[in-house]
Amino acid sequence: MSARKDNTEEKILDAATTVFVRKGMDGARMQEIADEAGINKALLHYYFRSKDKLFDAIFSKIIGFAFPKIGQILQSDMDFTSKVEQAIDTYIDLLLKYPYLPGFILKEINRDPSVFFKLVMKHGFNIKPILQIISDAMDRGEIVCMKPEHLVVNVIGLCVFPFAARPVISFLAFNEDKAATQAFLEERKQEVKQFVLRAIEPK
């Protein structure tokens, strides 16, 4: 019974993610999510009583996939460049799993940034320890000195932009060839790691 329940909940979350990305929070309807999941609306309401609860559950699932792992990596005893490499791998794995996530989040931030910020605060994400870890690595001479915020934004930008601009990249660079676009996105792990390490390692 528990496995069946877990499977139904997973189907609902996957369906809701698809509908939210396609329609946005305002445009999504519970009936459409139920249809996408292949269940009736009553069963959907049994699991999630409202769109807000569903959105919260999706966000929690996505955060649970990546952020704890990234936190463990950054707080480990590895050298800083290894931390950067593993954090990039984890972040791009998240984006490969949810390729339309950046566009969805940007759409929701433009709609109502307070909703997104409340969810981030609710799940305890805090960038200050990350900035301190970067500053400590600079103090030890492991990486070149820069404003830690710039390094964070640079890494996020290099990881996120190809996914946020996926339709444009697919059209302009790959003539809308899905397989070629997917291969390009999977190559981003190695490309981003090499680019970042070249930029931060002392000469």
Maximum distance among all Cα pairs of the chain, rounded to whole angstroms: 62
**CB neighbours of 72 closer than 8 A, spacing ≥ 6?**
none
Asked if 162 contacts 105 with a C-beta cutoff of 8 angstroms, the reply is: no
Coil, helix or strand at residue 130? helix
The pTM for the full model equals: 0.80
Looking at residues 68-91, what average pLDDT do you find?
A: 90
Q: Please give the mean pLDDT across all residues of the chain.
A: 87
Looking at residues 112-117, what average pLDDT do you find?
A: 77
Tokens of 148: 């830690």
Residue 1 has pLDDT above 50, yes or no: no
48 against 5, higher pLDDT: 48
**CB neighbours of 143 closer than 8 A, spacing ≥ 6?**
80, 81, 134, 137, 200, 201, 202
Cβ burial of 121 (10 Å; 0-12, 13-18, 19+) is exposed
**pLDDT tens digits, one per residue of 82-114:** 999 999 999 999 889 888 778 777 877 787 788
37 against 106, higher pLDDT: 37
